[in-house]
Structure 1
Amino acid sequence: MDEFLKSIEKKIVKLSFKQQILFGVLSCEKLLPNYRQFSSAVNWGNIEILEEAIVMIYQYLQDIELNEGELDSIYEKIIEITPNVENFEGDLAAYALDTCSAVADAVEFLLSEDQSYVLNIASIVRDTIDMFIQESEELDIADENADQKIVQHEYMKRETKRQHEILRRLLGAEIDLPFISAMRDLNNSYGPIIELSLVS
């Protein structure tokens, strides 16, 4: 595990189950525009299924009961709309795949309460940005300075700050509707995680 994930894990393990869920779903929401762009560009997929999953998770956080069958059903729907990158040209499918993987992990977390799924979500968001930086900056991975360039890139620095700020605010917080709304506003204030206009 790299230093980024170690630092995130140290904070995640201190959170309650609901706090961990909120961290995960906020991160999933940052990825939704990537799937929406992909679906619109290739006329394939269904963003509404991912949005439905997000709504279900927020309902759970507000103590609206979800049964296992509902969670299993939405999970299967997510799998159905997850693109096989080999079937699509360009880079958008890879970003859409990451989005589906993160939302699926959020649903899996509700079912299993295995916090490794939350760590996976944090990692997926970071990997999405890593991929974007490599492509948009045309980085040569053979370059021994490539990793440092990625870490120092404005998008990666902003995402690292977002994740740590949210984790800091979650610690000890009561997960009620006003707090959820405030956290979603904070999440949105960080802007898009990648510049979709640069992705083809």
Structure 2
Amino acid sequence: MAIHLPLSRLSQWQQVTFCAALLERMLPNYQMFARAVEFGDAALLRNQLDLLWQWLDKNNRTKINFEAQLNKLEAATPNPELFDTYGVFPALDVCMALMSVFQGIQDKNSADFASVGRLSANSVYGYVELLLLEERAEERAEESTGDSAEPNDEALDIAPDVLEQHPLVQWEVATQNELFDFLKNAPENKKTCEQAKEMVMEEGLSNLGIEV
């Protein structure tokens, strides 16, 4: 499952703004994970996202040492094999998304920017699937009380159309489309950045529905 937007039609500046705005919705997932397991550096990632917004300010553009930032980010990136909590996966998506933006800025012909939208969407799809699987398992457990038969894996499968109808998935799709439509005709200035950020954070929630 993926959201297909023609990001290549946007300028590099517009694409970075698109990515930075999506990262605002993703970052709380890393922050919550880092607090829960006492791993990583949430302040570092917040600072790196702020650096991107400052880089987007053409009138007072901040220079970024991409190699240094990527090295710092790599050290703060969690290895899913070392954690037994689901939160490691959306946290990893945040790190990968930031890496993609840093790499994309350096390579104007890169497809790295498009991966940010996919990572954000994948975080949502994965989380929603987990929620639905837990609900399905609970329902089947209640139905099979007194029955020794175990539910098979197929009985717990979540159909794609069920995922697509979930409010969090629909919200993610709507947010990315709204952001793209806004940016494709927006001027490349600080006000546009502020409007993009306000647009995606209006609800005060991360893309997984976590309160910011």
TM-score, normalised via structure 1 length = 0.87
Counterpart in 2 of 1:130? 125
- In structure 2, do the counterparts of structure 1 residues 89 and 176 end up closer, same or farther at CA, with 3 Å as the change threshold? same
The answer as to 2:81 corresponding to 1:106 is: no
Q: State whether structure 2 residue 183 is matched by structure 1 residue 170.
A: yes
Structure 1: stretches of 5+ with no match in the other structure: none
Matching residue of 2:140: none
- Please point out which of 54, 57, 63 is paired with 2:49: 54
Work out whether residues 53 and 107 of structure 1, in 8 Å CA contact, stay in contact via their aligned partners in 2.
no
- More helix as a share of residues: 1
Separation of aligned partners in 2, 1:91 and 1:52: 25
Structure 1 Cα separation of the partners of residues 43 and 154 of structure 2: 40
Picking from 149, 167, 186, the partner of 2:162 is 149
**Aligned residue in 1 for 2:207:** 193
Counterpart in the other structure of 2:192: 179
What letter corresponds to residue 106 of structure 2 in structure 1?
A: L
Using the alignment, how far apart are the partners of 1:48 and 1:72 within structure 2? 19
- Pairwise mapping of residues 33-48 of structure 1 onto structure 2 (< 5 A)? 33-48=28-43
Q: Distance in 2 between matches of 1:20 and 1:159?
A: 17
Supply the distance in 2 between the matched residues of 1:134 and 1:22 (Cα, whole angstroms): 29
Over 3 Å off, 4+ runs: 139-145
Question: What is the number of equivalent residue pairs in this alignment?
Answer: 190
What CA distance in whole angstroms lies between the structure 2 residues aligned with 1:158 and 1:95? 17
Name 2:146's counterpart in structure 1.
none
d(CA) in 2 for partners of 1:168, 1:142? 39
Tell me the CA shift for residue 195 of structure 1.
3.6
**Quick one: distance in 1 between partners of 2:36 and 2:109?**
35
Unaligned runs of 5+ in 2: 137-152
Q: CA deviation at 1:65?
A: 4.1
Q: Secondary structure at the match of 1:104?
A: helix
TM-score computed with the length of structure 2 as normaliser: 0.83
Matches within 5 A, 1:92-103: 92-103=87-98
1:151 to 1:115, Cα distance in 2 relative to 1, 3 A:
farther
Distance 2:121 2:69 in 1: 25
